[in-house]
Structure 1
Amino acid sequence: MSLKLQSICSLGIVVLFILSSNKLIAKDLVTSSEESPPPLSNSNYPASFFEQYLPQNALEMIGHLPGFNFDQGSSERGFGGNAGNVIIDGSRPTSKSGGLQSALKRIPASQVSRIEILRGGVSSGEASGQSIVANVIRKKSVTSGSWAFKERWPSKGKLQPNLEASITTGLGDWNTSFDIDVGSAAGYRTSTITNHDADGLLINSAKERQDEGPEFLFINGEGAKDFTKGKLTLNARVGGNRYTQETDRDIYDGQIELNNLPDKLWHLDLTRKFRVGEIGIDWNQSFNDWRWHVIAISLQERKDFRNHLTIQEELTGQLTDNAFEQEARTSEQIFRSTFGLNSSTKLKPEYGFELAKNKLNSKSISFMDGIQQSLNGGDVKVEEIRGEIFASFIYGASDKLTLAGGLTTEFSTIEVSGDAKEKQSFTFLKPRFSATYKFNQVQQLTLELERSVGQLNFNDFAASSQATDDRTTSGNPNLSPDKTNELSLTYDWSFSKKGSFKIKAFYQQKEDILEQIILPSGGQGLGNAGDAEFWGILTDLNIPLDFILDNGLIEISHVYQDSNFDDPVIKNHALNKNRAINNFTPNQLNFTLRQDIVDYKFAWGVEYLGNFTHTNYFVDEIIEFSGNNQFRVFIESSQFFGVKIQLEVTQINTAEFDRQRSIFNGDRAGSLSNVILEHRLRRPKYTLTFSKNF
C-alpha cells in the first residue's frame, strides 16, 4: 500500500469514526450508559468482562482492555527507569530479566479478580512516568493454574512444540506461583540477491535459503508472605535459549542459471547461546500513611556467539574460511529504597535512592583462512557504578486537574579496560512534569515534559561481526549517553464500553545521539554523532461494530514519525543534507478485526500489518529495508471440555521484504561502488494451541 493510499485509508477511518460516533455508535453509548460503566478516572473491569475473549492468563486480559496499549518497560540497567504500565496488586513486579510480560503470563485468568485502570498519575511511584496504568487485582488464597501446548509449523521442516504452564498456590505461610516455558520455534525464508555496479550493470546473482530455530527453557518462581509487620516477596528466574541459523547461497556470475552449477557456494553457520539466573527480594511496610519499599536484585547472564563462513569457488576449488567467536558475561546488582506517602491526601510525595553495579567481560576472536585477525575491542572489560537520588510527587490540584513530577540526580562512573582503556564520570539531572486535565468521566488531556538520559549498551564497547553483510564493527570506549528533551500531548476518549480514541503528539530534542561514525582508530562503530530532532503522531482507535457485526470490534493504530539529523560522515561533502536518524519506522497503519460469538464460545479475527520502510546509515553504506502488507488470521473455540483451541496463520499472504544496500568507496562521501538488492520471502506460518485454566 502506497503512502498516498495509506493517507486515504487514514482519512476514511476518521470519517467512519465521526459518522459512527454521531449516529451508529450512539446506540452503543446509550447501552453503555444504561449499564453504568465505571468512571474513566478509576475504571474497574471485573473478570466477567473478559470471559467473552476466553483468556488464559492476565497478559491476554490486558490485551483486551479498551484503549489500553501494553508497555512492558525497558531492559536497561537499573530498576527505577524501566517501569512498564501494569502493576500487580498495587506493586510493580520485582523480577527484571523475565520482565512484566512473564509476570503477567504466570497469573492464570481464573486468579484475576478485576483490573483497574488508574489515570492521571494516581499510580504513585510504582510506574513512574506512566499517565495511564493497569492494576491487576488477584484473588487471595486461591489455588489455580493454566497450561498451553503449542505446535508451530514454519511452512518447511518439522513441527515445533512449546509448553507453557503455571500454578499459583499456598505453601504454608507463603503465597507462591511458578511457571515454565519450554520448547522450540523455527523460521525459514528464501531470497533472491543481485549485485550491481555503480552504472547498474549486473555483477552477480544468488539464490539464498535460510533455516533458523531457537530452543528455550525458562523457569520462574515467586513467593510472598507477611514478615516483620510488612510483606516479603522473593523472585527467582533461571533458563536460557539456543538460537541456530544456517544460510546457503548459490552464487552465479551474471544471471541466475538454475540448470547450471553455481560459480560459488556460500555457507554460513551461526549460533547464539544465552543463559540467565536472577534472584530478587522485595520488602515493603506501611507506617501510618507512609510506605517504605526496599528492592534488591542480583542478575547473571552469559552470551556466546559464533559464526563460521565458507565460500567455495567451483571452478578453481579455492576455499575462503572465516570465523568469529565472542563470549560475554554480564552481571548486575541493584539496591533500591523508596519512602512515599500512600494516603488520600492531595499531595503524595515519594523519596528514594538506587545503587547499581554492572559488569561486562567480553572476549572476541576473528579468523580469516585460519589466521587470527586483529580486532579493535576484541578483549574488553566494562564496569559501571551508578547511583540515583530522586524525589517525585502527585498533586490533585482539583477534581479535574492532577499534577505529577519529579527530579532525579544520576551519578555514574564507567571504566573500560582490556584492549581499550577509558574511565568516564557523569552527572545528570532528569526532571519530569505532567499535567492531566479531565474534561469529564470519559475524556482527558495529558501534557508531559521530561528530560531523559539514555543508557550505553556495554556491547558497543566491544567488537562485533555481521557475517551476512561482511561487516566487522569496532568497539568504542569513548561513548557517552545520549540525552532527550521530550514534550508530548495525549488526548484520551473512552466513548463506550469497548470504544476508545487516543492520539499522542510528541517532539524530542536529542543530544549526543548515537549513530555509526568513523572512530578515531579509523574503524567503524557506534559513537556520539551530534544532535537531532524526532517527532511524531501516534493514533489508536477502537470501534465497536455491533451495528453491523454483533460483538465485533476493530482496533486501528497508525504511526507517523519523522526526524532531522546533520550527518557528520558527509558533513563537508557537496551532497551534504540533513537525513533521518536510524532505527525508526516513519509511517505504518495496522488494524485488527475480531468477533466473539459468546453463545457458541467461538471467536475469529483478522490482523493487518501495513507496509513499512525504514533506513539505516553506516559509515560506508545505506541500508533500506521495506515490507509488504501482511495478514494474520485466527479462529478459536472453547466448546470442548473447557479447552481453548486456537488455530493461527501468520503471513497468510506471504511476507515479502526488500533490502537494498548502497555501498560507497571509503565512506558515504565517496563515490557509489555497488548496490546489492535482496528480495526475501517468508511463507505462511501455522500455530495450533490448546490451553486451559484449572
Structure 2
Amino acid sequence: MRVALAAVVAAAVVAAPALAQSVDASGRTTYDAAFFQRFQPANALEVVRRVPGFTLEQVEEDVRGFGQAAGNVVINGQRPSSKSDTIEVVLARIPATRVARVEVGPGTLFGAEYSGKAQVVNLILTGEGGLAGTATGTLRRQYDGKLFPEGSVSTLLRRGNSTFNAAIGVNNEQTSEEGYDTLRALPSGELLEYRRKINTIEDPNAFVSGSWDYKAGQFETARFNARYAFDRFRLSQTNQVLPTGGTARDDRLTQRFHFDEWEVGGDVQRPLLGGGVKLIGLATRRDRIDRELSLLRVRSDVIGGNEQQVRSQRDEAVLRGLWTRPDFHGWSVETGVEGALNRLRSKVDLFGFGAEGARTRIDLPVDDAVVTEHRAEGFANASRSLTAKLRIDLALNYELSRLTVDGDADAKRSLHFWKPKLNVDWRPGDGWRAQASIARTVAQLRFEDFISAAELANERVNGGNAELVPQRSWEALATVEKQVLGDGLVKLELGYTRTALVQDRVPTPEGFDAPGNLGDGTSKIARATFDVPVARLGIKGGRISGRLSYVGTSVQDPFTGEQRPYSGASPFVYEVNWRQDLGDFAWGVGFSGDDPYTFYRRNELDTLYPGNPYITAFAEYRPTRSTTVTLSVDNLGDFSTRRGRLFFDPDRRTPDPFRVEDRVRNQHILPYLTIKHNFG
C-alpha cells in the first residue's frame, strides 16, 4: 500500500493536470454540483463526504455555548442555530438535488466561530421551489441471526424566500457481543478467575425536528428550529464466573439509561452600518435517568452486588449577538458577545447488597450537587488578503465565567482568559497551499466530572472533584497541501501544543481517583492526509483516500513522577479507503485502526487494545437516479477488542502490579442493507 501510494503521488507531482474546480483570490475553492454526479449522492451529507481532502469535524453535543460548538460546515454561508441536531443530521435531511455547489475556504471567511480552522465547507443550495425529501430504510443483522429495522424521512419545502424542513427518524441499534475475562495473580500468572460473558445491547432512539429559514437578502435572514429526541439504552449481561478452587457463580448486570432532550433556537439578522447584525438564541434541556444493577449469585441466592441510580437535569440558555461587515477598509470584520447560563442538577444513589440480599446505602463524596456556570465571551476577528496569494486572519476572544458547586460540596470561583489567534494562508500557485497558525485555547469542563459515581461494570468508583479547573494551551500548527491528478489532494500537518494544568486523573482524599489537574504537558502532532483519483493511472472511477496521524503527548504522572502520555490518548491512528464508481454500480473497502491507549488511575492501568484493522466494505447499486441500494459490512475481519487492567496495591507508587485482568469482546461480522430514495 505504501509503495502504491508513493507511486501515485510521484506521478501526480510530475504531471499536474488542469483542475476540475476553481479557486478565487480569497483562497475559496468551488466545486459545482456536476463534480459530485459521478458519486450519485442521495443527500448533502454524502456530497460533503466526497469533497477531496475534507474531513467532517465531530463536535460533542454537550459542549457549552454556541461559539465553541461550531464544526466545519455552514449552509448558504450561515451556521444552523441548532446544537443538538449534529451537522451530519442536518446535512442528511437535505436532498442532493438541492445542492448547487460546494465552497471550501479558510474558516475566517465564515465567521468568528470558525476562525483558525484550516478548512470550512460552505454548502450552497439551489433556489428551486417545491417539495423534496429523502427516505432511508436500513435492515441490520447481528451475529446470532436477529434482524433489526430502522429508518428516517426528511422533507424540504421552499416557498419564495422561505424554506421549511421537517424530519423524523428511528434508529433501532441492537447488537450482541460475546467474550471472556481472565483474572490472574502476578508475578506468578496463576489463574484466579475465569468469566464467560454475553452482552445483549439495545439502543433504540428517535427524533423529530423542524426548522424555518427566511432569506430576503445577504443581511436579511431569519431562522427558527425545534427538536425533541429520546434514547433508551439497555444492556443485559450474563456472566458465568468460575473461580479457581471456589464456588461457581451466575452473575448478572443490567443497565437502563433513559435520555430525553428538548431544544428550541433561532436567529434574526438585519442590515446595519454597511454590514449585518445578528441575534441568536438557544435553549436546551436534557433529562437523564440511569439505573444499574449488578448481582453476584450462587444459583438463585444473592451473595453480593450493587445498585445505582443517577438522576440528572442539564439546562442551557444562550444569547449571542454579533455584527459583521465583509468589506471594511479592505478588511472582513466581525465582533460580538455571547452570554450563557448552564446548570447541572445531579443526584446519585448507590447501594450495596449483603450476603443475604440486604440493601445498604453507600455514601459517595459528592453524590448530590448542583453545578452552575454563568459565562460571557466577547470576540472580534478581522481578515484580509495582503496580496493575491497571501491572506492573514486575526482574532481575539475574552472569556469570563463564574462557576459554583452547591450541595455535598461548596465551591465558588471566577475564571477569565484572553484567547488570541493568528492564521496566515499562502497560495504560491500550481496547486500548492501553506498555512501557519498559533492560538491560545481553553478547554471546557464536563459538569459530570464534579459528581461522584460508581462504574458497576468495572467494580470501581469515580470520585467527583469540585475544584477542577479548565486546562489552557498554546497551539501552533503548520499545514502544506498539494493538489494532484486533477481534483486529488495530499496534505501534511505538523503541530506543537503546550498545555498548562492538564486535565487528567488525580487521587482524592477519600481514596478514590477523580478528574483533576496535573502540571504542564505537551503534544507533538504529525498528520498526513491524501485523497487521490486514479483514473489517469488506468483504473476507471477509482479513488483512494486516507490519513495517518501521530499525536505524542507527555505529562508528569502524580504517582511515579515520570513522564507519561495523557489518559486515553492513542498516539497512532490510521485510515485507508478505496472506492470505485462505475456508472450505476459502486463498491469500496476501508481499513482503520489505532494504537492501544491507557487510562492512568490511582491503583490501576486500564488499557484498551482495538481490534486492528477494523475492516468495512460496501457494494452499491443505483437502479434509478433517485434510489440507491447499499449492502455494507462492518468488522469484516471478525476481530476482537481487548482490554487489559493492571492493579497495584495500595496505588501506582508501588512499581509492580499484583493482579491482571484481561477482557476480550467480539461483535463479529455485522452486515446491513440500506435503501435510500429521493423524491421531489
- Please say if residues 502 and 517 of structure 2, whose CA atoms lie closer than 8 Å, have aligned partners that are also in contact: yes
Q: What SS class does the counterpart of residue 56 from structure 1 fall into?
A: coil
Residue of structure 1 equivalent to 2:643: 659
Whole-angstrom distance in 2 between the partners of 1:564 and 1:126: 29
Q: What SS class does the counterpart of residue 412 from structure 1 fall into?
A: strand
Is 1:475 aligned to 2:425, yes or no?
Answer: no
Residue of structure 1 equivalent to 2:340: 356
Q: What SS class does the counterpart of residue 596 from structure 2 fall into?
A: strand
Matches within 5 A, 1:68-87: 68-75=54-61, 76-87=63-74
Residue of structure 2 equivalent to 1:6: none
Whole-angstrom distance in 2 between the partners of 1:434 and 1:362: 41
Shift of 1:332: 0.3
Q: 1:175 to 1:14 in 2, by over 3 A?
A: closer
Residue of structure 2 equivalent to 1:325: 309
Whole-angstrom distance in 1 between the partners of 2:108 and 2:484: 21
Residue of structure 2 equivalent to 1:148: 136
Shift of 1:624: 1.5
Deviation by residue 1:87-120 (Cα, 9 ceiling, x = unmatched): 1001111101112222111111111111111247
Residue of structure 2 equivalent to 1:586: 571
Matches within 5 A, 1:366-515: 366-369=350-353, 370-440=359-429, 442-515=431-504
Residue of structure 2 equivalent to 1:5: none
Residue of structure 2 equivalent to 1:43: 29
Matches within 5 A, 1:104-503: 104-119=91-106, 121-125=108-112, 127-140=114-127, 141-156=129-144, 158-170=146-158, 174-199=162-187, 200-225=189-214, 230-254=220-244, 263-287=248-272, 289-314=274-299, 317=301, 319-343=303-327, 346-369=330-353, 370-440=359-429, 442-503=431-492
Q: 1:181 to 1:36 in 2, by over 3 A?
A: closer
Deviation by residue 1:552-602 (Cα, 9 ceiling, x = unmatched): 00102101121111001223xxxxx2111112211132100000002xx11
Gapped regions of structure 2 (runs ≥ 5): 354-358
Whole-angstrom distance in 1 between the partners of 2:336 and 2:590: 44
Deviation by residue 1:505-562 (Cα, 9 ceiling, x = unmatched): 1111111111111123443211112221111211111121212321100102101121
Whole-angstrom distance in 2 between the partners of 1:443 and 1:457: 40
Deviation by residue 1:600-650 (Cα, 9 ceiling, x = unmatched): x11000001135311111111001111221211100011258421000001
Q: What SS class does the counterpart of residue 655 from structure 1 fall into?
A: coil
Q: TM-score, normalised by structure 2?
A: 0.94
- Give the counterpart letter for 2:383 in structure 1: I
Deviation by residue 1:263-287 (Cα, 9 ceiling, x = unmatched): 1112100111111100101111223
Matches within 5 A, 1:92-111: 92-111=79-98
Q: 1:460 to 1:143 in 2, by over 3 A?
A: same
Work out the percentage of aligned pairs sharing the same amino acid.
Answer: 24
- Please say if residues 152 and 686 of structure 1, whose CA atoms lie closer than 8 Å, have aligned partners that are also in contact: yes
Of 181-190 and 210-219, the range deviating more from structure 2: 181-190
Shift of 1:324: 0.8
- Give the counterpart letter for 2:614 in structure 1: Q
Q: 1:277 to 1:318 in 2, by over 3 A?
A: closer
Shift of 1:154: 1.9
Whole-angstrom distance in 2 between the partners of 1:155 and 1:441: 51
Whole-angstrom distance in 2 between the partners of 1:641 and 1:426: 55
Is 1:65 aligned to 2:51, yes or no?
Answer: yes
- Please say if residues 39 and 442 of structure 1, whose CA atoms lie closer than 8 Å, have aligned partners that are also in contact: no
Shift of 1:501: 0.5
Shift of 1:128: 2.6
Is 1:612 aligned to 2:595, yes or no?
Answer: yes
- Please say if residues 611 and 630 of structure 1, whose CA atoms lie closer than 8 Å, have aligned partners that are also in contact: no
The alignment yields a C-alpha RMSD, in angstroms, of 2.1
- Please say if residues 361 and 382 of structure 1, whose CA atoms lie closer than 8 Å, have aligned partners that are also in contact: yes
Is 1:597 aligned to 2:582, yes or no?
Answer: yes
- Give the counterpart letter for 2:433 in structure 1: Q
Residue of structure 1 equivalent to 2:11: 20
Shift of 1:208: 1.1
Q: What SS class does the counterpart of residue 636 from structure 1 fall into?
A: strand
Residue of structure 2 equivalent to 1:574: none
Is 1:523 aligned to 2:506, yes or no?
Answer: no
- Please say if residues 180 and 220 of structure 1, whose CA atoms lie closer than 8 Å, have aligned partners that are also in contact: yes
Q: What SS class does the counterpart of residue 568 from structure 1 fall into?
A: coil
Whole-angstrom distance in 1 between the partners of 2:464 and 2:598: 23
Whole-angstrom distance in 2 between the partners of 1:47 and 1:14: 28
Shift of 1:70: 1.2
Q: What SS class does the counterpart of residue 156 from structure 1 fall into?
A: coil
Whole-angstrom distance in 2 between the partners of 1:239 and 1:172: 30
Residue of structure 2 equivalent to 1:89: 76
Whole-angstrom distance in 2 between the partners of 1:298 and 1:112: 30
- Please say if residues 505 and 516 of structure 2, whose CA atoms lie closer than 8 Å, have aligned partners that are also in contact: yes
Whole-angstrom distance in 1 between the partners of 2:134 and 2:230: 22
Q: 1:273 to 1:36 in 2, by over 3 A?
A: closer
Whole-angstrom distance in 1 between the partners of 2:672 and 2:43: 18
Which of 646, 662, 674 is matched with 1:689 structurally?
674
Q: What SS class does the counterpart of residue 163 from structure 2 fall into?
A: strand
Q: What SS class does the counterpart of residue 121 from structure 2 fall into?
A: strand
Residue of structure 2 equivalent to 1:4: none
Tell me the matched-pair count: 666
Residue of structure 2 equivalent to 1:562: 552
Residue of structure 2 equivalent to 1:648: 632
Gapped regions of structure 1 (runs ≥ 5): 1-8, 256-260, 572-576
Whole-angstrom distance in 1 between the partners of 2:154 and 2:567: 40
Q: What SS class does the counterpart of residue 406 from structure 2 fall into?
A: strand
Whole-angstrom distance in 2 between the partners of 1:286 and 1:175: 21
Q: What SS class does the counterpart of residue 187 from structure 1 fall into?
A: strand
Q: 1:290 to 1:82 in 2, by over 3 A?
A: same
Q: What SS class does the counterpart of residue 186 from structure 1 fall into?
A: strand
Shift of 1:498: 3.0
- Please say if residues 552 and 595 of structure 1, whose CA atoms lie closer than 8 Å, have aligned partners that are also in contact: yes
Of 219-228 and 109-118, the range deviating more from structure 2: 219-228
- Give the counterpart letter for 1:117 in structure 2: V
Shift of 1:399: 1.0
Q: What SS class does the counterpart of residue 15 from structure 1 fall into?
A: helix
Q: What SS class does the counterpart of residue 439 from structure 1 fall into?
A: strand
Q: TM-score, normalised by structure 1?
A: 0.92
Whole-angstrom distance in 2 between the partners of 1:14 and 1:362: 52
Of 154-163 and 300-309, the range deviating more from structure 2: 154-163
Of 100-109 and 340-349, the range deviating more from structure 2: 340-349
Whole-angstrom distance in 2 between the partners of 1:641 and 1:515: 51
- Give the counterpart letter for 2:577 in structure 1: T
- Please say if residues 620 and 668 of structure 1, whose CA atoms lie closer than 8 Å, have aligned partners that are also in contact: yes
- Please say if residues 115 and 395 of structure 2, whose CA atoms lie closer than 8 Å, have aligned partners that are also in contact: no
